[in-house]
Structure 1
Amino acid sequence: MAEDRSDRLAVLIDADNTQPSIIEGLLAEIAKFGTSNVKRIYGDWTSTALKGWKEVLLEYSIQPIQQFGYTKGKNSTDSAMIIDAMDLLYTGRFNGFCIVSSDSDFTKLAVRIREAGLTVYGFGEQKTPGPFVSACDKFIYTEVLRAKTNENEPIKRRSAADLKQDTRLVRLLRNAVEASSDEAGWAHLAATGSNIAKQSPEFDPRNYGYGKLGELIAATKLFEVDERIGGDGQSKSIYLRDRRKRS
């Protein structure tokens, strides 16, 4: 019988472009997608610049990969990560990769992995270039992960007025609801979320201060929200409709 690879993930971290303060939130987030069978972090460990990382590697069982900087001003870490990623890809043991970096150099790697039919989860700061973000199936900004720690304040919830002024967000939500709706204009929340993920890999309600998609959508006050009880009398489903569709 073939081995089930449905939750096998390879986690590759660029230490030069990632802060150790995200590690707890990062691994908790990755656990939502599957099991981290490989956890590797790349950098020049002879450098004092990575001292903060050295203190957490043993605690979280992350394997450090030494990569000397051969030329001043050049980042050789990227090349080492890309080579390792391709070696892991060819083993056929994984169905997903987590690439942790804010560097656009990993754009082609993400594209190549997806071409092989595997899922790519990207993690990086909000300064991450758009091409790398778009190349991933799902991209999560690490500011959200740092907000979970004691050293950072939670991301402030944006008000309805602020959300309505975000034209890109409003357009994204309305397009997703419309694409997922029935003839009466009602769309299931789960189907709406799936549609949003296809349009915008970096979308995350936590970026706006909300823990769940339903909370964010309700906060915009642009949609009717209908909670329906299933035939078993216990299960609940949430449906959405653009208020402009109300007859």
Structure 2
Amino acid sequence: MASDSTKLAVLIDADNTQPAIADGLLAEVAKYGTAHVKRAYGDWTGNQLKSWKEQLLTQSIQPIQQFSYTSGKNATDSAMIIDAMDLLYSGRFDGFCIVSSDSDFTRLAARIRESGLIVYGFGARKTPEPFVAACDKFIYTEILTSKPDEEQPLQPRSPAQLKKDAGLINLLRNAIDAASDDEGWAGLGGVGSIITKQRPNFDSRSHGYGKLSDLIAAIDLFELDRRSPGEGRPKAIYVRNKRKPVARG
């Protein structure tokens, strides 16, 4: 988790994003740093983006006008990419939040990461895999809204359902093994970091659990140990595969 000193630029493809996510989006961004730039791109002269206008005022998002010069061509994408590169070259930011479900931003995300900055992607579940993979972390916008017609799960998946998800179980087991010490224990933070690197779109909330620790506990295939690093400091969580044999001295 980044600190408040992490400077982020938030660039929103308003043509491709629903305004209902605005509150949840900026709350999520705040987990990773401070949004020093918040811009939404689109053709604000028409009625298509009318529902966005209240969010612009409420969230202090700067609208960037981009006319649609030719039917079928997305000028908004080009404007976002040009601005992103200008902001990148300014050297003032630690990372970017690219909000779109459009694969056209795949190369932009890769280019920003090549410069050593972190990229958080935000988009709907329909977002093409290349854009998802190009980001350091990708958050599905369905998770960020409480609208009842969205696709997010209303109830946590049961332990039986989770155990049947072989892909999920293998992902967790492999990450724990990779981060573990000689006795098989791994710090939860390290496990989460490895999972995100392997699968940028992984999110425990997609399974109905607010935290990775809650998801792991629900599966009941792993041991959890909460350790106190010292007086007045929060407990650190460690996890181990139950089937992992303990090393003998």
Q: Structure 1 residue 90: deviation in Å? A: 0.9
1:39 to 2:38 alignment: yes
Aligned partners of 1:62 and 1:233: how far apart in 2?
39
Cα deviation 1:151-190 (Å, max 9, x = unaligned): 8686321111111122221111011100011111111111
Aligned partners of 2:153 and 2:62: how far apart in 1?
30
Partner secondary structure for residue 223 of structure 2: strand
Partner secondary structure for residue 48 of structure 1: coil
Is residue 155–residue 206 contact of structure 1 (8 Å, CA) maintained in 2?
no
Cα deviation 1:69-96 (Å, max 9, x = unaligned): 1111221110110011011111111111
TM-score w.r.t. length of structure 2? 0.91
Relative distance call for 1:142 and 1:233 in structure 2 (3 A) is closer
1:25 to 2:20 alignment: no
Q: Structure 1 residue 231: deviation in Å? A: 4.5
Match of residue 132 from structure 1: 131
Give the alignment's Cα RMSD to 1 decimal: 1.9
Cα deviation 1:3-37 (Å, max 9, x = unaligned): xx951111100011100000001011111111111
1:56 to 2:60 alignment: no
Mapping 1:142-221, distance limit 5 Å? 142-147=141-146, 155-221=154-220
Is residue 163–residue 220 contact of structure 1 (8 Å, CA) maintained in 2?
yes
Q: Structure 1 residue 68: deviation in Å? A: 1.1
Q: Which moved more, 1:52-61 or 1:108-117?
A: 52-61
Match of residue 240 from structure 1: 239
Q: Structure 1 residue 227: deviation in Å? A: 2.0
Match of residue 97 from structure 1: 96
TM-score w.r.t. length of structure 1? 0.92
Is residue 153–residue 207 contact of structure 2 (8 Å, CA) maintained in 1?
no
Gaps of 5+ in 1: none
Is residue 144–residue 155 contact of structure 1 (8 Å, CA) maintained in 2?
no
Letter aligned with residue 28 of structure 1: A
Is residue 45–residue 66 contact of structure 1 (8 Å, CA) maintained in 2?
yes
Partner secondary structure for residue 245 of structure 1: coil
Relative distance call for 1:184 and 1:54 in structure 2 (3 A) is same
Mapping 1:70-85, distance limit 5 Å? 70-85=69-84
Aligned partners of 2:117 and 2:232: how far apart in 1?
38
Letter aligned with residue 163 of structure 2: K
Letter aligned with residue 173 of structure 1: L
Letter aligned with residue 77 of structure 2: D
Is residue 5–residue 34 contact of structure 2 (8 Å, CA) maintained in 1?
no
Q: Structure 1 residue 230: deviation in Å? A: 3.2
Count, aligned residues: 242
Q: Which moved more, 1:86-95 or 1:233-242?
A: 233-242
Aligned partners of 1:126 and 1:185: how far apart in 2?
34
Aligned partners of 1:233 and 1:109: how far apart in 2?
43
Letter aligned with residue 206 of structure 2: N
Q: Structure 1 residue 245: deviation in Å? A: 1.4
Partner secondary structure for residue 38 of structure 1: strand
Aligned partners of 2:130 and 2:103: how far apart in 1?
7
Q: Structure 1 residue 237: deviation in Å? A: 2.1
Aligned partners of 1:68 and 1:30: how far apart in 2?
28
Is residue 155–residue 208 contact of structure 1 (8 Å, CA) maintained in 2?
no
Aligned partners of 2:104 and 2:155: how far apart in 1?
31
Partner secondary structure for residue 55 of structure 1: helix
